[in-house]
């Protein structure tokens, strides 16, 4: 039995080698990297961006799982699991994992979102093999032991408490709840004290086995990297762990959901003795794949994306009513949000909300000036290029693109898409999105009378 299965493995592995598909997706020049993709038999995708002029490399693995995939009882499991992958593998203790990357001055971390989880290490290019070894080991060989689950529960409960202590952060979780309600998108990524206390090692291990199959993963590396070497090393690591068992397995397609956000005129207030009232006024936005997202990006930038934006000018520059005021979009597979955040003294919350609401209404009706649109186009283009200067940002871009869109876009194509946005496109998306009835989330020390007036902002 042993020798037969060894032969079978060897044959599968050599058949598999024959059918690995590699494509060059973007040809680099002038400081732009070359992007390549290899799909291994077993369904593991590997994308790299090679930029030989830098001295660093970032290696990451993206998992197609986020808090959106949790049942109510499992809320927080994705994030809990993210912590546990740092706690030890068959080959390494937690200290071995952190020491390995610390010893070369690298930066290793992970983040969990509603639709994906990412683990990464940023290192000097000469240390890339080490980073690949450690991160692949964490993804394929974690033990998730009972005692680690118990100790890490404490750290996660502290993380929840720390977030609670930062109302400017916390109000974003509240806004997700206001907009999505009691479902997976409306629940916090970290989970709650109750759900985290109820999660067991056994449930988390099941969650791990279900969601970390190679077909659910995208490997991404960027910087001074050699695509073929990365592929060889990643393949060896995954084959050794027995993870690439089925040569016919195909990568999971990008997520497709069917959620429509219907929230309109909702108000949620958490009373807390803070110095500022932290507010988000917003409405349903665009899904990540919506073709109007380029126009929406221009609109968002002009409205609240910088110091020269409408909201910054009206709320802070002219009136000094806030220090921090900005707008943002968040896109999911099937839906999205548009929001305006402001932090201001509680006594001024109604003034601030009125100014923001008036601007949204005004832009929904009249659009933006050509001047504002031209400036926002330039701002998005410049910040796109400037935002891709470090290898961490490059790795994020290609990894997320592969997982969420299943394709790669060159920087030149992105700049062209931004440039092609017309004032009419912006007006159309403003009329649609900003014309929707907003909802409102507030954390702050508002008295009853003030609280009841909040509904005026979303009337």
Binding site as annotated, residues for Zn(2+): 79, 83, 159
Q: How far is the CB of 169 from a copy of itself (least distance, A)?
A: 9
Q: Which two tokens stand for residue 6?
A: 């060894």
**Residue with Cβ nearer a copy of itself (7 or 383):** 383
Backbone φ and ψ of 194, nearest 5°: -65, -45
Question: By C-beta, is 102 or 407 nearer to a copy of itself?
Answer: 102
DSSP 3-state assignment of 292?
Answer: coil
Residues between 65 and 84 that touch a copy of itself (CB under 8 A): none
Size of the site for a copy of itself (CB under 8 A): 78
Q: Among residues 284 and 297, whose Cβ is nearest to a copy of itself?
A: 297
Q: Are 231 and 22 in contact, with CB atoms under 8 Å apart?
A: yes
Instruction: Report the residue from 8, 378, 416, 420 that binds a copy of itself according to the rule CB under 8 A.
Output: 378
Q: From the CB of 310, what's the least distance to a copy of itself, in Å?
A: 11
Which residues within the stretch 137-166 sit at the binding site for a copy of itself (CB under 8 A)?
A: 150-159, 161-162, 164-166
Q: Which of 91, 319, 366, 453 contacts a copy of itself by CB under 8 A?
A: 319
The number of beta carbons lying within 10 Å of the beta carbon of residue 434 is: 21
Q: Which is nearer to a copy of itself, 46 or 199 (CB)?
A: 199
User: Least distance to a copy of itself from the beta carbon of 328, Å?
Assistant: 16
Which one of 19, 73, 104, 419 is in contact with a copy of itself (CB under 8 A)?
Answer: 104
**Which of the ranges 64-72, 228-236, 320-328, 331-339 carries the binding residues for a copy of itself, by CB under 8 A?**
320-328
| Identity of the residue, 111 or 323, whose beta carbon is nearer to a copy of itself in the bound complex | 323
**Which lies closer to a copy of itself via its Cβ, residue 245 or residue 345?**
345
At which residue do the structure tokens 């979102």 appear?
A: 113
Q: Does 306 bind a copy of itself (CB under 8 A)?
A: yes
Position 308 contacts a copy of itself (CB under 8 A): yes
Cβ-proximal residues to 434 (8 Å cutoff; 6+ apart), any chain: 283, 299, 338, 360, 361, 363, 364
135 binds a copy of itself (CB under 8 A): no
Q: How far is the CB of 157 from a copy of itself (least distance, A)?
A: 8
- Is 458 in contact with 266 (CB distance < 8 Å)? yes
- For a copy of itself, the binding residues in 275-294 under the rule CB under 8 A are 275-276, 278
Of 396, 395, 393, 373, the C-alpha closest to 385 is 393
Q: Considering beta carbons, is residue 87 or 255 the nearer one to a copy of itself? A: 87
Binding residues, by number, are 79, 83, 159
Least Å distance between CB 353 and a copy of itself?
Answer: 15
Indicate which single residue of 205, 316, 397, 436 sits in contact with a copy of itself (rule: CB under 8 A).
316
- List binders of a copy of itself among 383-442 (CB under 8 A): 383-386, 389-391
CA distance linking residue 146 with residue 358, whole number of Å: 54
Q: Are 76 and 192 in contact (CB under 8 A)?
A: yes
Whether the CA torsion 69, 71, 72, 78 is positive or negative: it is negative
Bridge partners, 303 (sequence order): none
203-222 residues near a copy of itself, rule: CB under 8 A? none
How far apart (Å, rounded) are the C-alpha atoms in residues 170 and 186? Answer: 13
Tell me which H or E stretch contains 328: strand 325-331
Q: Which of 49, 82, 239, 402 is catalytic?
A: 82
Considering only 19, 103, 236, 264, the residue that binds a copy of itself (CB under 8 A) is: 103
Provide the terminal-to-terminal Cα distance of the chain, rounded to the nearest Å.
72
The contact mask relative to a copy of itself for 346-375 (x = CB under 8 A, - = no) is ----------------------------xx
Q: Long-range contact list for 365-372, CB < 8 A, 24+ apart?
A: 365/431, 365/435, 367/423, 367/426, 367/427, 367/430, 367/431, 368/299, 368/302, 368/303, 368/310, 368/423, 368/426, 368/427, 368/430, 370/423, 372/302, 372/310
Separation between Cα atoms, residue 146 and residue 156, nearest integer Å? 15
Q: Which is nearer to a copy of itself, 98 or 215 (CB)?
A: 98
* Single residue of 6, 8, 73, 95 touching a copy of itself by CB under 8 A: 95
Structure tokens at 366: 């009249």
> Is 152 a residue of the active site?
no
Pairing of strands 217-223, 45-50: parallel
In whole angstroms, what is the distance from residue 311 CA to residue 362 CA? 12
12-51 residues near a copy of itself, rule: CB under 8 A? 31
Distance CA 64, CA 372 (A): 38
For residue 247, the minimal CB distance to a copy of itself (Å) is 37
Where in the sequence numbering do the catalytic residues fall? 82
């Amino acid at each position: 039995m042993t020798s037969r299965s060894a032969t079978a493995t060897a044959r599968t592995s050599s058949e598999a080698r024959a059918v690995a598909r590699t494509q060059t997706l973007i040809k680099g020049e002038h400081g732009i990297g070359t992007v390549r993709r290899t799909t291994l038999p077993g369904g593991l995708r590997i994308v790299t961006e090679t930029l030989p002029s830098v001295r660093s490399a970032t290696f990451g693995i993206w998992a197609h799982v986020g808090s959106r995939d949790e049942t109510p009882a499992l809320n927080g499991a994705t994030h809990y699991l993210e912590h546990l992958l740092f706690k030890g593998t068959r080959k390494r203790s937690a200290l071995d994992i952190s020491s390995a990357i610390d010893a070369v001055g690298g930066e290793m971390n992970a983040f969990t979102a509603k639709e994906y989880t990412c683990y990464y290490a940023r290192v000097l290019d000469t240390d890339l093999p080490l980073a690949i070894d450690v991160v692949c080991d964490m993804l394929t060989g974690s033990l998730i032991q009972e005692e680690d689950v118990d100790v890490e529960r404490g750290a996660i409960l502290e993380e929840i408490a720390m977030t609670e202590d930062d109302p400017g952060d916390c109000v974003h979780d509240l806004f997700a709840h206001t907009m999505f309600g009691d479902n997976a998108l409306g629940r916090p990524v970290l989970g709650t004290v109750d759900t985290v206390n109820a999660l067991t090692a056994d449930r988390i291990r099941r969650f791990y086995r279900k969601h970390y199959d190679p077909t659910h993963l995208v490997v991404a590396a960027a910087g001074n990297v050699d695509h073929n070497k990365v592929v060889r090393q990643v393949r060896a690591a995954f084959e050794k762990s027995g993870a690439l068992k089925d040569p016919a397995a195909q990568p999971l397609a990008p997520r497709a959901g069917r959620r429509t956000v219907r929230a309109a005129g909702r108000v949620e207030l958490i009373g807390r003795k803070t110095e500022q009232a932290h507010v988000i006024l917003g409405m349903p936005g665009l899904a990540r794949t919506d073709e109007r997202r380029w126009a929406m990006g221009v609109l968002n930038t002009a409205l609240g994306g910088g110091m020269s934006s409408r909201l910054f000018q009206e709320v802070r520059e002219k009136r000094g009513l806030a220090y921090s005021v900005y707008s943002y979009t968040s896109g999911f597979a099937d839906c999205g949000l548009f929001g305006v955040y402001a932090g201001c003294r509680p006594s001024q919350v109604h003034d601030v909300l009125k100014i923001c609401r008036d601007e949204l209404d005004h832009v929904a009706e009249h659009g933006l000036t050509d001047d504002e649109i031209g400036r926002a186009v330039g701002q998005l283009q410049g910040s796109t290029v400037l935002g891709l200067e470090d290898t961490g940002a490059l790795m994020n871009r290609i990894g997320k693109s592969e997982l969420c869109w299943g394709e790669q876009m060159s920087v030149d194509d992105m700049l062209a898409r931004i440039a092609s946005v017309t004032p009419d496109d912006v007006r159309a998306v403003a009329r649609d999105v900003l014309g929707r009835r907003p909802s409102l989330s507030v954390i702050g020390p508002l008295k009853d009378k003030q609280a009841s007036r909040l509904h005026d902002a979303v009337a």
